[in-house]
């Protein structure tokens, strides 16, 4: 019968156990290096100075990623990959984690729930290289289900119950096959802005689209699109950030404690 010992009293079970621990330790070091790629180096909240990544074992080596559809490359970690925008807010106390108080319009300045990232200024693309999110007037091969209410022509009502405008079109995601935005023609100006579908309630019975995030008058300042028939990744951030900020900053009452 074959002996289970490799040499001396060192057997196969011990070898497998040690090999597993060595592999697991290597995996931990690898993952700790890789998770310090995008988003690093960190910035000190108070001083704004860059913080060290953590030495050889905890620093990812630069890696270059090739983006699809001819959008170039990105290399991370990148010391230049930091937000240099001026924060339109003041810190309530000189300590890490201290709340900030807006000094301008927080819904446009990227404060708190209205925060947004400086994403690329080109649209998200389908596998075929076409803009992914477009209005139905562009995606002519899409249609709304006849079982559901068609929001086009419905009145948009803000959180204050006032009329904000009328839905002029529906923007669909060609890849996910769902509605992403509703296009609103703002009352009194004719300006067209986008309303995220996730922040709208379509009431077919009342012929209304109800929005609790912002007031009717605040639709006039929703970030505009450079191209009326497509939306860039950066513009998506701005639009979503505006409505997200409205949940806290649309009215003064929303900023006060509940208790």
| pLDDT for position 259 | 63
- Band of pLDDT at residue 52, cut at 50, 70 and 90: confident
31 exposure class (CB count in 10 Å sphere: 0-12, 13-18, 19+)? exposed
155-157 and 163-173 as β-strands: parallel, antiparallel, unpaired? Answer: antiparallel
Residues 74/65, Cβ–Cβ less than 8 Å: yes
For 94-123, write each residue's pLDDT tens digit: 887 788 888 989 999 998 899 998 899 999
Lowest mean pLDDT among 8-17, 48-57, 99-108, 156-165: 48-57
Phi, psi of 210 (to 5 degrees): -100, 130
């Amino acid at each position: 019968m074959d002996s289970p010992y490799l040499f001396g009293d060192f057997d196969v079970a011990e070898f497998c156990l040690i090999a597993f621990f060595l592999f697991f330790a290597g995996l931990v070091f690898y993952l700790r290096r890789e998770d310090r790629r995008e988003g690093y180096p960190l910035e000190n909240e108070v001083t704004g100075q860059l913080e060290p990544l953590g030495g050889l074992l905890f620093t990812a080596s630069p890696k270059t990623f090739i983006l699809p559809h001819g959008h170039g490359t990105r290399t991370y970690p990148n010391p230049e990959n930091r937000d240099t925008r001026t924060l339109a807010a003041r810190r309530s106390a000189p300590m890490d984690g201290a709340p900030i108080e807006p000094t301008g319009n927080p819904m446009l300045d990227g404060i708190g729930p209205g925060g947004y990232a400086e994403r690329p200024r080109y649209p998200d693309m389908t596998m075929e290289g076409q803009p992914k999110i477009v209005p139905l007037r562009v995606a002519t091969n899409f249609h709304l289900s006849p079982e559901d209410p068609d929001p086009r022509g419905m009145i948009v009502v803000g959180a204050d119950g006032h009329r904000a405008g009328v839905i002029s079109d529906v923007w669909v995601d060609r890849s996910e096959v769902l509605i992403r935005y509703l296009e609103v023609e703002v009352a009194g100006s004719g300006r067209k802005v986008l309303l995220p579908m996730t922040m709208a309630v379509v009431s077919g019975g009342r012929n209304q689209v109800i929005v609790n995030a912002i007031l009717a008058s605040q639709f006039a300042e929703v970030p505009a699109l450079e191209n009326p028939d497509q939306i860039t990744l950066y513009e998506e951030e701005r639009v979503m950030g505006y409505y997200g900020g409205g949940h806290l900053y649309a009215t003064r009452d929303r900023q006060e404690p509940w208790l």
